[in-house]
């Protein structure tokens, strides 16, 4: 862990895209800018951008820089192994795709009650610890999405776990489902360095409601993202804060306030608390746009996009949202009302959202019959 240079990492789940493909040229420029600014931590997983994130990292990072220049984290995800015997070949394929001989960190992905049982049955943890002994993994950790008591159980059963990645941001801080604060406290209790994902809640803390935006604008400049990330990074024990940057502009903004990181001062913290209150007063869908739910949906419903436009309408009273619903994010047979209620999406949603029920609300909002003249 002593090779980590700074507390800010490049999350490679939302790389810049041109249509369906990663924008390789822009990604290369972002990688260069990130390394030039003195950062060196990169985070990926096999499922990110349907397998294209790992490949892009080989093209843009690992084939262009010596191994000691960067720290690379990858993950073992439940849907890529059915038995213990599947794990090693999958792991080896990840090394090959990424173009490296070892991963600095390898995380058991999206641990929670259901996934944890599968990982235990398949001896995934034991396999990862063996791979560590063989030098193919430097540090074994978990990424976690469940209640604090489940985290406590995992850390008790596997004390060898070295780091824990949790969702942590100022809106989820005391959220009863996400339990950011409680999970953080468990990490501290077990003395595990923390990696933070979703510090801007999948982009939800970027385009703030007008009243919330005004609170931050009354400070001394700085983007909403800067306050969200600095809020998180200021807690003791935060080893790394990941930001899923999607273009050079976001990269430059993030670098500007994380290069010489300073935690929020008292006035800034009070402003963020006000923004927290404003958020909690709105009835928003806490979707982080991870898109885990979309692959298995038999109706190919663009679930996170529908939730995003529902939130946009709620926050900004954005009437464009209706056009987006009709013309961009739905197609015949793929509307919210076409949901079959099979529940496949809810089984994989790390935020434990009642997706079927929420889609009913989306349908009620956007599929109203036009008023009769
Ligand atoms: S419950 Fe609806 S949205 Fe979810 S996977 Fe099934 S059809 Fe798709
Ligand atoms: S509904 Fe859940 S699984 Fe789907 S994108 Fe949102 S947070 Fe992710």
Residue nearest to atom 2 of ligand 2 (CA): 349
Ligand nearest to the Cα of 292, by number: 2
Measure the CA–CA gap between 284 and 186, rounded to whole angstroms.
Answer: 27
Strands 41-43 and 8-11: parallel
Least confident residue range of 92-96, 160-164, 197-201, 235-239: 197-201
Distance in Å, CA 322 to ligand 1 centroid: 21
The ligand placed nearest to the CA atom of residue 178 is: 2
Q: How far apart are CA 14 and CA 202, in angstroms?
A: 10
How sure is the predictor about 29, in pLDDT bands with cuts at 50, 70 and 90? very high
DSSP for 262-308 reads: ----HHHHHHHHHHHHHHHHS---------TTTTT-TT---HHHHHH
Please count the other Cβ atoms lying within 10 Å of the Cβ belonging to residue 206. Answer: 13
Give the residue-averaged pLDDT of 169-181.
81
pLDDT of 327 strictly over 80: no
Q: Is 239 in the pocket of ligand 1 (CB under 6 A)?
A: no
Helix orientation angle between 224-233 and 266-281, rounded to the nearest 10 degrees: 110
How far is residue 271 from each of residues 222, 260, 265, measured CA to CA in Å?
13, 21, 10
Check pocket membership of 355 for ligand 1, CB cut-off 6 A.
Answer: yes
Rounded-to-integer distance, Cα 173 and Cα 180, Å = 5
CA nearest to 285, candidates 354, 196, 336? 354
Q: What percent of the chain is modeled with pLDDT above 70?
A: 97
The verdict on the CB of residue 301 being under 6 Å from ligand 1 is: yes
Q: Are 211 and 182 in contact (CB under 8 A)?
A: no
Alpha helices in the chain (DSSP H): 24-36, 52-57, 84-98, 113-121, 124-133, 148-157, 180-189, 210-217, 224-233, 248-258, 266-281, 303-316, 320-323, 344-348, 355-366
Give the residue whose CA is nearest to atom 8 of ligand 1: 297
Residues 6+ apart with CB under 8 A from 66: none
Phi, psi of 341 (to 5 degrees): 65, 30
Binding pocket residue ranges, ligand 2, CB within 6 Å: 287-293, 303-304, 348-349, 351, 353, 355
Task: Give pTM, 2 decimals.
Answer: 0.83
- Does ligand 1 come within 6 angstroms of the Cβ of 297? yes
pLDDT at 148 over 80: yes
Question: What's the 294 CA to ligand 2 centre distance in angstroms?
Answer: 8
Backbone angles phi, psi at 167, to 5 degrees: -85, 125
Q: Which residue has the higher pLDDT, 313 or 111?
A: 111
Q: How far is the CA of 292 from the centre of ligand 2 (A)?
A: 6
Ligand nearest to the CA of 145: 2
Write the pLDDT tens digit of every residue in 92-133. Answer: 999 999 999 999 999 999 998 889 999 999 999 999 999 999
Q: d(Cα 315, Cα 355) in Å, to the nearest integer?
A: 20
Query: Looking at residue 283, what is its pLDDT?
Result: 81
Residue 175: band (very low, low, confident or very high) from pLDDT cuts 50, 70, 90:
confident
Digit-coded pLDDT (tens) for 250-282:
999 999 999 999 999 999 999 999 999 988 888
**Start-to-end CA span in the chain (Å):** 67
- Provide the pLDDT for residue 357: 97
Whole-number Å distance, alpha carbon 71 to ligand 1 midpoint, is: 37
Closest ligand 1 atom, CA of 339?
A: 2
The reported pLDDT for the residue numbered 63 is: 98
């Amino acid at each position: 862990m002593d090779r980590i240079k700074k507390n800010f990492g490049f999350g490679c789940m939302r790389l810049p895209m041109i249509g369906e493909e990663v924008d390789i040229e822009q990604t290369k420029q972002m990688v260069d800018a990130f390394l030039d600014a003195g950062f060196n931590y990169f985070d990926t997983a096999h499922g990110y951008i349907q397998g294209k994130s790992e490949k892009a990292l080989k093209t843009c990072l690992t084939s262009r820089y010596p191994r000691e220049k960067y720290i690379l984290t990858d993950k073992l995800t439940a849907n890529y192994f059915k038995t213990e015997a599947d794990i090693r070949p999958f792991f080896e394929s990840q090394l090959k795709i990424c173009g490296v001989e070892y991963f600095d960190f390898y995380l058991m992905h999206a641990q929670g009650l259901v996934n944890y049982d599968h990982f235990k049955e398949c001896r995934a943890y034991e396999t990862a610890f063996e791979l560590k002994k063989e030098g193919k993994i430097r540090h074994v950790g978990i990424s976690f999405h469940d209640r604090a008591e489940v985290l406590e159980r995992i850390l008790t059963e596997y004390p060898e776990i070295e780091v824990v990645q949790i969702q942590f941001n100022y809106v989820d801080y005391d959220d009863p489902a996400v339990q950011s604060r409680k999970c953080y406290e468990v990490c501290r209790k077990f003395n595990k360095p923390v990696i933070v994902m979703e510090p801007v809640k999948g982009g939800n803390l970027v385009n703030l409601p007008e009243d919330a935006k005004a609170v931050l604008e009354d400070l001394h400049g700085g983007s909403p993202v800067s306050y969200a990330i600095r809020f998180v990074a200021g807690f003791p024990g935060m080893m790394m804060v990941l930001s899923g940057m999607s273009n050079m502009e976001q990269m430059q903004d993030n670098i500007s306030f994380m290069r010489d990181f300073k935690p929020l001062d008292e006035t800034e913290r009070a402003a963020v608390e006000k923004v927290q209150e404003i958020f909690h007063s709105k009835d928003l869908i806490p979707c982080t746009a991870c898109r885990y739910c979309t692959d298995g949906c038999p109706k190919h419903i663009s679930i996170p996009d529908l939730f995003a436009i529902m939130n946009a309408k709620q926050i900004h009273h954005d009437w464009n949202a209706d056009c987006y619903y009709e013309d961009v994010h739905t197609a015949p047979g793929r509307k919210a009302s076409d949901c079959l209620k099979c529940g496949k999406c809810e089984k994989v949603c790390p935020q434990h959202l009642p997706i079927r029920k929420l889609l009913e609300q989306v349908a009620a909002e956007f599929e109203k019959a036009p008023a009769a003249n």
